[in-house]
Structure 1
Amino acid sequence: MSHRRTYIDIHILQTVPPSNLNRDDAGSPKQAVYGGARRARVSSQAWKRATRKAFEDELGLPAEQLGTRTKRVSTLLASRLADRTGLDGEAATRLSNALLAHDLDIKPGKKAAESAYLLFFGRSQLDAIVDLVAERAAELTALADGALAKAVADLPVRAQLTAKHPIDVALFGRMVADIPALNVDAATQVAHALSVHPVEIEFDYYTAVDDEKKPDEDAGAAMIGTVEFTSATLYRFATLDVHHLAHNLDMDFEATIEATRAFLRAFVTSMPTGHQNTFAHRTVPSVVSYVVRHDQPINLVSAFESPIRSRDGIAATAAIRLADELSRTSRMWGFTPLAVASVYNPASTTTARHQDQDTESANVAQAFGTPRSLDEAIDATIAAVRPRLDGATTSR
C-alpha cells in the first residue's frame, strides 16, 4: 500500500454588512495591509472557534463527540468521577488532581479550580480516565496523599488523552508547550479572511434613553458611546489534509469521512459572533468552491493582491478573479485539481455592462464547474475523497 496525499481546499467569497466580527485590543475591527491597501481582516482563530461552535449548535453533533478547551480539566474530571463513583466533591477533586499530576504533570493555575494550561481535549477522553479508577475509587481516596500519588503513578492517564480524539481536536490540533507528548498536529490550516477591496473604519455613535425619565426632565441621553465597524466582501480559505485527519482519528476511515463532511459544512456556514446583536451581520457566501488536490494546498488570495475598486458592487468581480486564479494555477503551474465542486449563481458572476459577459461566464463555469447546492457540492467532494482513503496508509 502506498502513501497518498489528499487535500481539500475551501475557497469562499462572502459579503458582510456593517459589522465588527473580530476586534483588536482597542475594540477596532481587525485589519491588515495587503497589496498596498488596508483590508478588513478576520483572524483564523475567530473562524476556527465559530466552526467548532457550529459543530454542536448548527450541525447538532453530540457534545460527547466533541472537545472542549478549558483550564478546568481537573474540575470536569472530578465531576465525572463523582457522577460515576459516588465520591463527594472533595474526594473526587483530590483523586482528579492526583491522576493529572503524575503522568501528565499538569500544574495548578493561579485559581484553585484551574490548571496552568488551556487544554483542548475530548469529553469522552475524560471518561476513559475515569475508567482507570472507577472500580477502586473509594479505596484510592482513603489513602494518604503520598500513598495516593504512588498508587496512581503507573496508570496510563496520558494515553487516554492521546487516542480516540474528538473530531475538533483531530481537525484543529492541540499544542501544550510544556508537555510535548500531548501535542496533536492539526489536519486543517485556516487563513485569515481578508477583504478583496480597501476598507475604512467607520464609527456608529449611539445613545440610550432612560425609559422612566419624566417629560419635564432634561432631554439628555442616559448613555452615549461609539462602536467601530466596517463592511466587506471577504475571501476566506481553509485546507484540510484528509489523510492526516485519518491519522489523528486512529485510521478510522468512516469517522474521517464524517469529520470531513462536518468540517466542509461548518466552516462554510459558521460566522464569528463579535457584536452580533448590534449588527445582525450573519450572511451566507456568494461563492463556495471545494477543490480536491493530491499535490499541495493552494491559497488563491493572489487574485486580490490588486484590490478591487468599484462603485457597482464587488462580489461579481471577485468571483471572476477567483475563477481566473484557480484556472491559472492549473494552466501555468500544473496544479490540476482532482475534482472541483462549487456553489455559486452564474447570473451573479458577471460584471455589469461588460462586453464579454459570455466569455466571463464560460471562464467561471470552466473553473468552478456546474453550479450545485451546498449539499450536492459536499456529496461530490466526499465522493472524490472516499476512494483515496480506501486502502491508503499515512505516515507522520
Structure 2
Amino acid sequence: MSTFIDIHALQTLPPSNINRDDTGAPKTATFGGVPRQRVSSQAWKSSIRQDFSESLDSSQLGLRTKRVAEKVVKQIEQLSEGYDKEKALSEVAAAFKTVGISLAEPKKKKNEEEDSTLESGYLLLLSNQQINRLAQAIVEANGEKLKKADVAKILDTQHSADIALFGRMLADAPDFNVDASCQVAHALGVHESEPEFDYYTAVDDVVKEAEESGAGMIGTVEMMSSTLYRYANINLNGLVKNLDDSEAAVAVAVQFIKSFITAMPTGKQNSFANRTLPEAVVVSLRDDRPVSYVNAFETPVKESAEHGRRYEAAKALAAEAQELSETYGMEPVKSYVLAVGDLKTALEGLGEETNLKVLLESLSTDLSKVLAN
C-alpha cells in the first residue's frame, strides 16, 4: 500500500510579477471560463530547490548543468593535485560515453575565446555524490578506462533530494531516468483577474539639481494581484525507492513541505517586495491516491458582505474536500491545518489545527511510523 502526502495552500500576492512569459507579462490561464493568474510549477520548484541549498547538506543536493564535465574535472583536481586537466577532461568524456551520454565542445559565438571544456547536449542533473564518486573512480583508475557497469552504478545510486523528488530524464541514456516521486501543480488564481500596467518614471538626479523638468527614463511593467491555490503531492514509497533510505525519505519529504510553504519565486521581487506566506495550508496523509481540490475554484471566488475573498476561498476549499470525501468515500488518514485569522473557522473540521513547527515535527513522526509498519 502506498502512502501519499497532499499539500494544499492558499496564498495571496499583492501587485507582483513573480513568473512572467516571453513578453514580460505575468503568466495566466483560463479556468472556469475566465482568465486567472498562473505561476508555473517550474518556477515554484526552482525556488524550492534554491531553498534546499540553504537547508540541506551539500551531499543531499544535485546540480543541473550542461557543463557537468567541468565540475567532475574540478573535483578530480581537488582529489589529485597536479592531475593534467586535458587528460581529466578526456577521461570524463570517455566515462560518460560508456553509458551512452555524449559530451562535445560547445558552439562558439563569434569572437568568443576558446574554452577547453565539454558540454552535454541538454541540462544534465546529477547529485553532488555522483559527481564526487565519478571523479574518485577516475582518479583511482589511473588512466584505465572505467567499465560501463561501474559508471552505471555511480550514476544510478545515491540520488540527491531534488532528483528523488522531481525525477530525471536523460534523452540519450533512458536507463538512468528517475521517476518523480513528487508532483507540483501550476498555482492558479481562485478568482478572475487580468494583468495591469504600471507606468513608471525615473528621475535624473543631476537634471533635478539643475531645476530642469522631465524624466530621465519612462516605461511600463505588467503586474497582477491574486489569491492563488497551490497544490503538490508526494508518493512517499516512491521517494523511499529513489533514495534507497527510509530515514532520508522522511527528512526530504518534511523539508519539501517546509520549502513548499516558505519558498517563493523571485521574479521582480526588488520591484514589488511581494514576500507573503500562505494564509492557509492543509497537509493530508492518504493511503488511496492524491486528490487536488482545484475544482473548488471552478466558479470564481468573490468576497461576501461578511467576509473577504481569502475567507471565501478557504470556505470553498473546505466544502470541496468534504463533498469529495462524502461522494467517493476517500478519507485522508490524517490531516493538519495551518491558518491565520478567521480562516481557521472556515477550515474547521478539515484537520488538526497546528503551526509550522509542530506540523513538521508531527509529520516526521507520522511518516516514520508509516514506513516502519
Asked whether the two chains share a fold, i.e. TM above 0.5, the reply is yes
Give 2:214's aligned residue. 220
Q: Could you tell me how far apart the structure 2 residues matched to 1:117 and 1:84 are?
A: 27
Judge conservation of contact 2:127–2:163 (CA < 8 Å) in 1.
Answer: yes
Judge conservation of contact 1:10–1:237 (CA < 8 Å) in 2.
Answer: yes
Q: Per-residue CA shift, 1:343-387, capped at 9, x if unaligned?
A: 113x4228xxxxxxxxxx3x73111x3321112122223333222
Corresponding position: 1:71 with 2:66:
yes
Corresponding position: 1:379 with 2:366:
no
Q: 2:75 aligns with which of 68, 77, 80?
A: 80
Task: After TM superposition, give the deviation of residue 136 of structure 1 in Å.
Answer: 4.2
Q: Could you tell me how far apart the structure 1 residues matched to 2:59 and 2:100 are?
A: 22
Give 2:38's aligned residue. 41
Q: Could you tell me how far apart the structure 2 residues matched to 1:173 and 1:377 are?
A: 26
Q: Where do 1:219-258 residues align within 5 Å?
A: 219-250=213-244, 252-258=245-251
Q: Could you tell me how far apart the structure 2 residues matched to 1:239 and 1:34 are?
A: 21
Give 1:196's aligned residue. 190
- Secondary structure of the residue aligned to 2:178 is coil
Give 1:337's aligned residue. 332
Corresponding position: 1:29 with 2:23:
no
Q: Could you tell me how far apart the structure 2 residues matched to 1:324 and 1:379 are?
A: 28
Give 2:168's aligned residue. 174
Q: Could you tell me how far apart the structure 1 residues matched to 2:100 and 2:206 are?
A: 57
Q: 1:316 aligns with which of 301, 311, 315?
A: 311
- Secondary structure of the residue aligned to 1:292 is strand
- Using the size of structure 2 for normalisation, the TM-score is 0.92
Q: CA RMSD in A?
A: 1.8
Amino acid in the other structure paired with 1:133: I
Q: Could you tell me how far apart the structure 2 residues matched to 1:379 and 1:326 are?
A: 25
Q: Could you tell me how far apart the structure 1 residues matched to 2:87 and 2:240 are?
A: 39
Q: Where do 1:352-371 residues align within 5 Å?
A: 361=345, 364-367=347-350, 369-371=351-353
Give 2:6's aligned residue. 9
Q: Where do 1:259-278 residues align within 5 Å?
A: 259-278=252-271
Question: Identity, % of aligned pairs?
Answer: 41
Q: Per-residue CA shift, 1:217-247, capped at 9, x if unaligned?
A: 7422222211100011000000000000000
Give 1:358's aligned residue. none
Of residues 110-119 and 12-21 in structure 1, the stretch that sits farther from structure 2 once superposed is 110-119
Corresponding position: 1:185 with 2:179:
yes
Q: Could you tell me how far apart the structure 2 residues matched to 1:169 and 1:109 are?
A: 26
Unaligned runs of at least 5 residues, structure 1: 141-147, 351-360, 392-396
Task: After TM superposition, give the deviation of residue 175 of structure 1 in Å.
Answer: 1.0
Judge conservation of contact 1:19–1:279 (CA < 8 Å) in 2.
Answer: yes
Q: Could you tell me how far apart the structure 1 residues matched to 2:51 and 2:209 are?
A: 47
Judge conservation of contact 2:92–2:138 (CA < 8 Å) in 1.
Answer: no
Amino acid in the other structure paired with 1:314: R
Q: Could you tell me how far apart the structure 1 residues matched to 2:68 and 2:342 are?
A: 49
Aligned residues between the structures: 361
- Using the size of structure 1 for normalisation, the TM-score is 0.87
Corresponding position: 1:282 with 2:265:
no
Task: After TM superposition, give the deviation of residue 215 of structure 1 in Å.
Answer: 3.8
- Secondary structure of the residue aligned to 2:104 is coil
Q: Could you tell me how far apart the structure 2 residues matched to 1:29 and 1:289 are?
A: 27
Task: After TM superposition, give the deviation of residue 122 of structure 1 in Å.
Answer: 0.5
- Secondary structure of the residue aligned to 2:18 is coil
